[in-house]
Amino acid sequence: MKKVGLIMGSDSDLPVVQKAASVLKELGIPFEAHVYSAHRTPEEASAWTKAARDEGFGVIIAFAGMAAHLAGAIAANTTLPVIGVPCKSAALDGMDALLSTVMMPSGIPVATVAIDGGKNAALLAAEMLALSDDSLAQTLIDRRKAESEAVLAKDAGIADRI
């Protein structure tokens, strides 16, 4: 199975990265996590990204706040799918990161999830990997079914709580 790269611009993004890592662990998807800044360590971020395909990665998730250029910098150096996760910051509550992540120039796509959306980023990465992994696809189908059943169980019991 291909690995997922979890690249954060700062270790302050770790709580959001941990949400993604938790989902990947639950699904049995191998991953590596690194701290590379688009602005402070651009050479290291570029070198890691350029080697990612040969190192067995299938998807990269980039987590960054504020200016949030990391996902774009990663995407500029690979044709692997890149998922950007904008992280909240104190100044603009994550809107700055959201706009920096989602507004990519034509030709350099970055899929973008919600602010602090580490869980959905991991699930999207899993869906991408499941395109060529029937076992993982079935695991995702089973997960969706279990989530649906949990909601329906709550629905069945709501009348008793009102």
* Residue 120 maps to a domain: yes
The verdict on residue 157 lying in a domain is no
- CA–CA distances in Å: residue 115 to residues 9, 11, 34, 44, 57: 15, 17, 20, 25, 24
Structural domain that includes position 49: 3-133
What integer pLDDT is reported at residue 144 of this predicted model? Answer: 98
In a domain, 75, yes or no: yes
Alpha carbon separation from 108 to 68, 72, 97, 125 (Å, rounded): 15, 7, 17, 18
Per residue of the chain (162 residues), what is the pLDDT tens digit? Answer: 999 999 999 999 999 999 999 999 999 999 999 999 999 999 999 999 999 999 999 999 999 999 899 999 999 999 999 999 999 988 899 999 999 999 999 999 999 999 999 999 999 999 999 999 999 999 999 999 999 999 999 999 888 888
Q: In this structure, is residue 140 part of a structural domain?
A: no
- Number of domains forming the structure of the chain: 1
Task: Give the CATH number for residue 116.
Answer: 3.40.50.1970
Does residue 162 belong to any structural domain of this protein? no
Residue 18 lies in a domain: yes
Q: For residue range 104-124, what is the model confidence (pLDDT) as tens digits?
A: 999 999 999 999 999 999 999
Q: Does residue 123 form part of some domain? A: yes
Per-residue pLDDT, 90: 84
* pLDDT confidence of residue 54: 98
Q: Percent of the chain at pLDDT above 70?
A: 100
Does residue 40 lie within any of the structural domains? yes
